[in-house]
């Protein structure tokens, strides 16, 4: 056999060996992938059957499927008495938030009847203008405006929108009313630490299109309550 033929035969053998090794490697990888897939399927099945599994296990299952499970629908209460109670609490939350804001701005005022956060700019102008002479008390007006903006700036961090929520709170009070004398004693027990209880009640009983904004005003009220150290509801 010539040296050229021998060299060609040797190259063919080498090529066959490489192809064989390549096929064997592919077969091993395929088997490994099948094993991993089987383990992932077991993990997902276990995760779906056990909602209390650790979060990292659930996350692995989600990544394996490349999707996030749909959120559970909220559990809406059908208890008329509970819904009615929630309506009164929501109306009181709205009323109390307005009252807390007004007290922060017009501190020292004994009576706030006729004062509204929705019309606070006009009210500040009115109370700082002498009804007889029309003279403006610029110092007091600046002080009231400063208090208002300082208070609202704090609430903005909680999602409060001064162009939306003052009118929204009035709408809630007009729609759902406020607590009466019989329920006021129950309301006095609420503090800023009970926000989670009321949040859950709101989420269960109030219309979907109102829940988000109600929770905003509840958070704002809780913030102001924490500042003054009083009860959630004041009478």
**Contacts (Cβ under 8 Å, ≥6 apart) of 54:** none
For the record, the structure tokens of 37 come out as 């897939």
- The span from the CA of 142 to the CA of 222, in Å, is 27
pLDDT in tens, 18-28: 455 555 555 55
Please tell me the predicted confidence (pLDDT) of residue 46: 42
Please tell me the predicted confidence (pLDDT) of residue 56: 40
Exposure of 89 in the CB half-sphere (CA atoms within 13 A): 27
pLDDT in tens, 42-70: 444 443 444 443 344 334 333 333 333 34
For the cut 80, the answer to whether the pLDDT of residue 14 exceeds it is: no
Confirm if 218 and 177 have CB atoms less than 8 A apart.
no
Q: Which of 11-25, 123-137, 197-211, 212-226 has the lowest mean pLDDT?
A: 11-25
Please tell me the predicted confidence (pLDDT) of residue 144: 95
- The span from the CA of 218 to the CA of 183, in Å, is 19
**Contacts (Cβ under 8 Å, ≥6 apart) of 109:** 103, 115
Q: How far apart are the first and last CA of the chain?
A: 113
Please tell me the predicted confidence (pLDDT) of residue 170: 96
What phi and psi values does residue 177 have, to the nearest 5 degrees? Answer: 75, -165
For the cut 80, the answer to whether the pLDDT of residue 166 exceeds it is: yes
The DSSP line for 50-64 is -TTS-HHHHHHHHHH
For the cut 90, the answer to whether the pLDDT of residue 154 exceeds it is: yes
Sign of CA dihedral 105, 106, 110, 116: negative
């Amino acid at each position: 056999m010539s040296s050229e033929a021998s060299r060609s035969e040797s190259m063919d053998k080498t090529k066959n060996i490489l192809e064989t090794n390549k096929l064997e490697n592919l077969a091993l990888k395929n088997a490994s992938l099948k094993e991993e897939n089987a383990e992932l399927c077991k993990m997902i099945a276990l995760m779906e059957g056990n909602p209390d599994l650790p979060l990292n296990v659930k996350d692995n299952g989600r990544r394996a499927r490349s999707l996030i499970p749909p959120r559970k629908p909220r559990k809406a209460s059908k208890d008329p008495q509970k819904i009615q109670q929630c309506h009164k609490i929501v109306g009181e939350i709205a009323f109390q938030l307005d009252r807390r804001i007004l007290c922060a701005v017009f501190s020292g005022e004994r009576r706030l009847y006729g004062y509204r956060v929705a019309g606070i700019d006009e009210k500040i102008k009115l109370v700082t203008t002498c009804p007889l002479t029309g003279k403006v008390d610029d110092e007091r007006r600046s002080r009231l405006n400063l208090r208002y903006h300082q208070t609202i700036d704090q609430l903005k961090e909680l999602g409060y929108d001064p162009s939306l929520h003052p009118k929204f709170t009035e709408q809630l009070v007009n729609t759902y009313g406020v607590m009466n004398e019989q329920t006021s004693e129950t309301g006095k027990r609420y503090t800023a630490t009970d926000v989670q209880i009321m949040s859950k009640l709101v989420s269960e009983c109030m219309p979907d299109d109102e829940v988000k904004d109600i929770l905003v005003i509840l958070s704002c009220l809780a913030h102001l309550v924490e500042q003054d150290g009083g009860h959630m509801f004041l009478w």
